[in-house]
Structures are given as structure tokens and as C-alpha cells.
Structure 1
Amino acid sequence: MAITAPVTGDTRLIYGCMALGGSWEPGPYRAEDIDEAEAVIEAALDSGITMFDHADIYRHGKAEGVFGEVLARTPGLRERITLQTKCGIRLADGDRPGIYDLRGASILRRVEESLTRLRTDVIDVLLLHRPDPLADPADIAEALASLHRQGLVRQFGVSNMNAAQCAHLQRHLDLPLVANQLEMSLHRRDWLEDGVLVNTPAAAAVGFPAGTVEYCTANAVRLQAYGALAQGRFTGRESSVGEHATAEHLRALAKAKETTPETILLWWLQRHPARIAPVIGTGRPERIRACRDAALRAPDLSHEEWYSLWLTARGGPLP
């Protein structure tokens, strides 16, 4: 299957590759896993998506592996896309539980392994997957500087970190952090609720680290939203009265704007002034194509429409 699609250079939407590579069991991937990855990548490119997000742990490395196979069989594809991957989580192995590991030597080793699996000479963006309480930021900075000097990684970012953690790490880095990937969606709204529940009794129950969105916006750290489609809760997998009401509202807006409910969900995130870049992780090509307008069109939601979605999803008025 030939993959042909123009490069837009637009990071409005990101494809998350966690669904690629077959099962989550350790072991080799299959030939059909490569074919399925190729179909998914083609659907993403057809939909205007040229940035692909990985992690070294996805499917025990098989997600990166099958992606590398597709790159190897498709000349010129690597030059037309942006590759992002993450490191810092070590999966459970036998009696050893899963842990976080952001030691400099571990970062260097994991990046080398990702480069081999992805069959590429350079990673465009490397994210530190989760905070490691034992990590020494100076040690991290030395490892990242080495990767950059060698031309192995172009830019760096983080995932699942709060404002204070970002600032603490940035003080040791000469290169700027360019991204922070967090779970954000119309379902997972704590990042938004935190900002309006200040000075209310409900604030304590939110738990989202205050100031993180503002820090990232002020310091040009691009917010990337994983789980952006809310695991299908509003687009076919509704399981509550509230989710059903939100799904109905999404369908009505989609019909009025001649697009899909998936696009409306993504536009809701993109409409925020933080310039959030949603990450979509579905492994179904038809659902990727349902997100096409979110990659190719500016968010078409008025102020009132944006609030109407929020209020419907939260199931009650603002404080």
C-alpha cells in the first residue's frame, strides 16, 4: 500500500501510536501488525496529521518497531513527518514492579533503543514520560545536552508534569522545554475546573496542580492533550445520562457545522487560548478520518458554543 499525502507542517493535531504493534504481551510483532500500522499511518496522513507520538513502553516497544518497519518500506516518509517519543517509565518485569527512571544513563540508553526500533537517525521531540522523584535534574540536563549535541534529538519536553516540576527542570537546561503532554478532554476537565473553582469549597476536590496551564502558556511550552477523544464516551460509548446529553449536543453541533462529533470534541480543546494540540490514539482508520477537520480547519466554535459544551458535560452551572 503506497502512502501519499502532503506535509502540512501543522501540529494542530497529533496521532498517538499506543494502539500500534499488536498485543501488550512482550514478544515479536507480526507481519499483520505492520500492515495495520501502515493503514493507520496512511489514514492519519490523509487526514492532515504529520506528527506521530510514541513512547518506548508502548506494546513493549512493538509500537515503535512496527512504525520503523513502515518507515523502512516507504521511502521519503521520514522527511515528511515529525516523530516524537517518550522515555522514563520501566514496565513491570517478573517480580519487579513498574518504576520511573530518569537517570541520565537510562535516558541515553532508552533513546538509543528507540532510534533503532524506529529506524531513524534522529528523534524530533523527546518527552520525559513521568516525573522520577529520585532524578537529579543536573544529570537529566547533561544527558539531554549530549543527545542534542550528537544530533540524536532536536527538541525536548515533558509529560505529566506540573508547573513547579517544569520550572525546576528548566533551570538546569540550556534548551527550552517545548511541550507538556497531559490528559485533557471534555471528560477529563480538572485542568479547566481548577481555574474557575478558586475560592470555592469544590476547589479542594479537583486536585489539578494550579498554575500549570498558565506556566506552559507563558513559557511557550505547548500543551498536548492525550485522551482527547475521551475514550469514546461521547461518540458511541456513552454510559450515563450526562454522557448521553453531551453526545446529543455534540451531534447537533456537528450537523450544524457539517463535520463530525469527533471534530467538535477536538475543536473544544483547540479553541482554548493555550493552543492545545490534541493527541488522538484510536487504532481505527475510519475514526482517524473522522478527526480530519480538526487537523485542517480552524476551530469553528463560538464563545457561547464552547461554554455550552462545557456546561453540558459538567452537568451543572458554573460557580
Structure 2
Amino acid sequence: MRTIKLGSSTLEVPVVAVGCMRIDSLDKAGAERFVQTALEEGANFFDHADIYAAGKCEEIFADAIHMNASIREKIILQSKCGIRKGMFDFSKEHILESVDNILKRLKTDYLDILLLHRPDTLVEPEEVAAAFDILESSGKVRHFGVSNQTPMQIQLLKKSVKQPIVANQLQLSITNATMITHGFNVNMENAAAVSRDEGVLDYCRLNDITIQPWSPFQYGFFEGVFLDNAKFPVLNQKIDEVAKKYEVSNTTIAIAWLLRHPAHMQPVIGTMNIDRLKDCIKASDIHLTREEWYAILLAAGNVLP
């Protein structure tokens, strides 16, 4: 699979990340088949979070991949922390405890990337910085990033944090693309899209932060997928038309649409279906034309000024 550098780091990562939030839906044999297929297809970047099934997903993954030193060298592991029941917590103590528990569940002694999950409004940047310094110096975490954060929230962290922020995991799909579409409506009185993210797309590009789109097939907030959905007839007709041209599935085109953007994004796919996994990976080889990219954008109901 094609690779990109993650943010400003030298770490080469596949352009498609395998999200493991639903791996607990598979039985033992199914989980083993899934992770083995991912590796065979070159998808060796696995995304986790300590809240996925209360940590059970990390345990299932470690067992499914038969984690050992040899396997660990062949994969890239990312996990997230900071969400607790009824609150968000970026305190030094919670970050350090969370990482220790993540490593234990994944049966490894280090993470390639740690992301801070949903923004904690009570964050004290100096505490995050202290935690990151300990994690880096101990070798427990090699790279750091965030999830669902605006430019100003990242800037606040960078007030104290010295490590580069290499990734920002954000909700983005063809139907949830306001971070893209609001850029068309600068100085427009009746703008079709309002910026609610402080220009995070351009900020990440300017600061060499890799955007990792999550839920790349969802519309709304986990309301469902837009592919083959009767609510989106025009969009599906256009995606199917483009898919026919390239002789791939509509799933492949939905991911290729994200990969076509010059921000060099790394979509995080959440499927546990092996055929859909392979279809997502095929997007690495598809380069949509400018005309195709915009046609799909407009078919989703977006309007150019």
C-alpha cells in the first residue's frame, strides 16, 4: 500500500489506517483472520482507544495478532486516551496511568503514537507536557497527537508541549465535509457552510499535522452510512458512475475521495468485513480527477458560491 509520512515525523505509515473499535464483534478465529488479512494487504497501522469496549478491543487485538517481539516490529500501533465516564481528563496522572494500561492490554512496551481524545476544557498544558516528557523519555510513546481538536486547542497545548503534534483525528466524510466546504464561503452573506472548527484543515496543512478522518462512510453523528442509502440517491449515482469507470466498488471511491485531497490524509476505517477492508485498501491506487472529486462533492448536496 502507498505510504505517507505522519505529520512532521519520519514515520512512514499506510495511507489507510485500520480502526479496531469494533473488533470485539468478531469471534477469536474471525479476529485472527481479519488482522492477518490486513497485514497481508500492507495495512499494518492499527488504531485503538482505551474506551473501545472498555479496553477489551485492545486485548482482543493483541491475542488475535499473537503479539510478540517479531510481530511488534512489523506493525504501527496508535491508541487514544482522555475520555472517562462523565468527563474528559488530560491530567498528568490520568495520561500516564492510561498509557500503562494500554500497553498492558496490547502486550507491548511502547506505542508508536498516542492521541489525546476529546478536548478537555480543564486541560493544563504543563501537565500534558510533563506526561509527554515522561512517556517519551521512558520509551513508552514515540509520537504524539490529538483527536477532535481545533487549531486554538492545539496551540494551547503547544504552549507547553515540546513534542510535535503529528496527527489530528477528525470526523470527515463526503457527507460530513464542512471543514472543506466552509472554505468556499469566505465573506459570503448567506454561506452554505459555517466554520465551526477554526479552519482546522488549513491549520493542519500549514503545521504538518496529518488529518486522520474517522467515520469516513458516516453521515451525521453515527446516523448511518451514505453508501447505498436511499437518502442520498444523487450521491450514490455519481459514486457508482465513478466506481464503474475505475472498475472498483463504491467503498473504494469513498475512500479515494478523501485520499485525493492534497492534505495527505490518512482515513481510519472501522469495518470488520474483510472484503470491505480490501476495497478500502484499493483506494490507495486510485487518483480521482479534479472534475470527479468536485462532482462527488456537489452530488452530496454541497453548493459552490
Work out whether the TM-score is over 0.5.
yes
**Partner letter of residue 93 of structure 2?**
A
Evaluate the alpha carbon distance shift between residue 99 and residue 147 of structure 1 in structure 2; reply closer, same or farther with a 3 A threshold: same
Is 1:154 aligned to residue 142 of structure 2? yes
Residue 21 of structure 2, aligned match among 11, 18, 26: 18
Q: CA deviation at 1:215?
A: 1.2
Q: CA deviation at 1:206?
A: 2.9
8 Å contact from structure 1 (residues 33, 66) kept in 2: no
Residue aligning to 2:58:
64
Q: Deviations along 1:133-166, whole A, 9 cap, x unmatched? A: 1110000110011000000000000000001111
Residue aligning to 2:213:
225
Task: Please give the root-mean-square deviation of Cα atoms over the aligned residues, in Å.
Answer: 2.2
**Partner letter of residue 107 of structure 2?**
R
Residue aligning to 1:25:
none
Unaligned runs of 5+ residues in structure 1 are: 23-31, 92-97
Residue aligning to 2:241:
252
Residue aligning to 2:152:
164
Match of 2:182, SS? helix
Residue aligning to 1:124:
112
Q: CA separation in 1, counterparts of 2:40 and 2:162?
A: 37
Residue aligning to 2:166:
178
Q: CA separation in 1, counterparts of 2:61 and 2:70?
A: 14
Q: How many residues align?
A: 294
Q: CA separation in 2, counterparts of 1:203 and 1:99?
A: 34
Matches within 5 A, 1:267-282: 267-282=256-271
8 Å contact from structure 2 (residues 213, 265) kept in 1: yes
Q: CA deviation at 1:204?
A: 8.1
Is 1:193 aligned to residue 181 of structure 2? yes
Identity over aligned pairs, percent: 38
Q: Deviations along 1:19-56, whole A, 9 cap, x unmatched? A: 1124xxxxxxxxx6333322221232233211110000
Q: CA separation in 2, counterparts of 1:230 and 1:43?
A: 24
Match of 1:105, SS? helix
8 Å contact from structure 1 (residues 53, 84) kept in 2: yes
Unaligned runs of 5+ residues in structure 2 are: 5-11
Residue aligning to 2:41:
47
Q: Using structure 2 for the length normalisation, give the TM-score.
A: 0.90
Residue aligning to 1:84:
78
**Partner letter of residue 156 of structure 1?**
F
Residue aligning to 2:279:
290
**Partner letter of residue 298 of structure 2?**
L
Answer with 113-122 or 8-17: which moved more.
Answer: 8-17
Is 1:33 aligned to residue 34 of structure 2? no
8 Å contact from structure 2 (residues 146, 165) kept in 1: yes
Q: Using structure 1 for the length normalisation, give the TM-score.
A: 0.86
Evaluate the alpha carbon distance shift between residue 41 and residue 173 of structure 1 in structure 2; reply closer, same or farther with a 3 A threshold: same
8 Å contact from structure 1 (residues 53, 85) kept in 2: yes
**Partner letter of residue 253 of structure 1?**
V
Match of 2:27, SS? helix
Evaluate the alpha carbon distance shift between residue 72 and residue 42 of structure 1 in structure 2; reply closer, same or farther with a 3 A threshold: closer
Q: Deviations along 1:85-111, whole A, 9 cap, x unmatched? A: 0000013xxxxxx21011010000000
Q: CA separation in 1, counterparts of 2:62 and 2:145?
A: 22
Q: CA separation in 2, counterparts of 1:212 and 1:162?
A: 6
Residue aligning to 1:208:
196
Match of 2:66, SS? helix
**Partner letter of residue 227 of structure 2?**
T
Q: CA deviation at 1:263?
A: 1.3
**Partner letter of residue 19 of structure 1?**
R
8 Å contact from structure 2 (residues 113, 142) kept in 1: yes
